[in-house]
A and B are shown apart, each in its own frame.
Chain A
Amino acid sequence: MSNRTSHLTEDLILMSIVDYEDLNQENQEHLFQCSTCGTQRETLLNSLEGLGNTARNLCPPAPRPLNWDYAPRPRWWSVFSLPRPVYALAGALASILIALVLLHNPQAPMEIIPFKPTEVSVVYTIALDEVMVDIEESTLTPALMDLAGEAYMEWDQDFFDFLSPGFETELLTFGARLKGALA
């Protein structure tokens, strides 16, 4: 027979709902004998039971489950369904391997091959020719040059040759220089 005079606190009633065995012997006896505490506990338990029952009643019916007798048997490619950490680990290992291979086989530094002077000269000539063609093509017609207030001049071949010496001129100049050198 429980000899306690006060009722169980609300905390103890909650504790009894969480796990009845957690109450000590005296409180268990009191709960068994005291109608006030018993009613309090019963009300809360009924409410929780009602909540669960209502939720289950309002839940739609479960669909028909799969028939596992016809489920496909696992194949070799089922390894791809391994847990994600395995993929992460494999990725990390692959990265480390690639890094090691690259560190042990460093790429040779790129060799810088200087241009030969003749090549530079050819490039220069071609570039200059292109500029001259542009100038020639974009020359205004005499009428438009008059409108623009610029005097029209006849094509000065000597001046053009001076700016961009042709191959023949170059050859002649080279021959003259060679001749002088030999002399």
Chain B
Amino acid sequence: MESSGINKETGGYTELPICGLISSMNPLNCETPSSQATRLISLVRQARSGDRAAFDQLVLLHHERIFRMVFFRTRKQMDAEDLCQEVFIRAFKSLPRLKDDSKFVPWLFSIAGNTVKDYYRKKKILSLFQSEPDVQVNEDPDSRQLSQPLDHVLKQEFWSQVEIFSQKLSRWEKEIFFLRFMDQLAIRDIAEATGKSQSAVKTHLYRALEKYRKHSGTFAKFMEDRHEQ
């Protein structure tokens, strides 16, 4: 249960263990959540004082999560890679302005959210000067290179279902739903990242879940089909 971050006992998502994220990169063994938090805080503190190696460690720890977060919102691998780098460059530049070291993760997610927002803003401006519409809006170019075409079709089908569902949500419902169930952030971290109160986050999440319940049948069918494959 811990591996997916969901805790069915309490119904909430638990913090992901750092070692699970970077088992291949981090030579350190798995740590308890409290020691992880302490280590993260000390890394942030060192990075803030100009320690490059500490920031390098922070990048290693969160790179994959941030990349996934950006990819879920852009659905383009190349763009997600560029934006992911940009997120860490922005974080590096503005690290001295981080007030609370323990809030590094939500702070990083808020930077990622703003970077994605800027990406869409630029894209919107550029689209005004384009005579033809962008035909690869939700298409992952690298997915064409997959050796298995069926996998590619399933992938496309899944993301199109996610897109259909996302269109039923308001901007904040979508953002908070994604942060909670796809990026696996806790409610308090979502509140920090979005700058909203926890009760506002819960309200948006509740509304998103109401809509999800009506749409969950489509996802369930898709996941069953995929399981059969």
Binding site for B on A (CB under 8 A): 10, 14-22, 41-42, 44-45, 47-56, 58-60, 62-63, 65-69, 71, 74, 78, 81
Contacts and interface: CB of A to CB of B under 8 A. Distances in A.
Nearest to B57: A68
Contacts of A50: 219-220, 223
A167 B63 CA distance: 94
Nearest to B60: A65
7 contacts: A18-B205, A44-B216, A50-B219, A51-B181, A53-B4, A59-B67, A66-B85
Interface residues of A: mostly helix, strand, loop or mixed? helix
Nearest to B207: A14
Nearest to B10: A20
Interface in B210-224: 210, 212-213, 216, 219-220, 222-223
Contact of B223 (A10, A19, A54): A54
B213 A44 contact: yes
A68 B55 contact: yes
Interface string B52-85: 1101100110011001100110000100110011
A178 B77 CA distance: 99
Contacts of B89: 66
B206 A15 contact: yes
Contacts of B187: 18-19
Contacts of B12: 19-20
A69 B52 contact: yes
A60 B142 contact: yes
Contact of B77 (A41, A60, A78): A60
Contact of A68 (B11, B92, B155): B92
Report, as a range, how many residues of chain B touch the other chain: 35 or more
A57 B4 CA distance: 11
Given A14-B210, A58-B159, A63 B226 contact: no
Contact of A45 (B11, B68, B142, B158): B11
B69 to A, nearest CB: 10
Contacts of A17: 11, 209
B63 A62 contact: yes
In the A-B complex, the 7 residue pairs with the smallest Cβ-Cβ separation, listed nearest first, are A62-B67, A20-B11, A68-B56, A65-B63, A62-B64, A47-B216, A20-B10
Given A17-B209, A56-B182, 18 more contacts: A18-B206, A20-B12, A44-B216, A45-B8, A49-B6, A50-B219, A51-B182, A51-B219, A52-B6, A56-B68, A60-B142, A62-B63, A63-B84, A66-B59, A68-B55, A68-B56, A68-B59, A69-B56
Contacts of A48: 6, 181, 212
Nearest to B201: A18
Contacts of B182: 51-52, 55-56
A10 B213 CA distance: 10
B88 A81 contact: no
A14 B59 contact: no
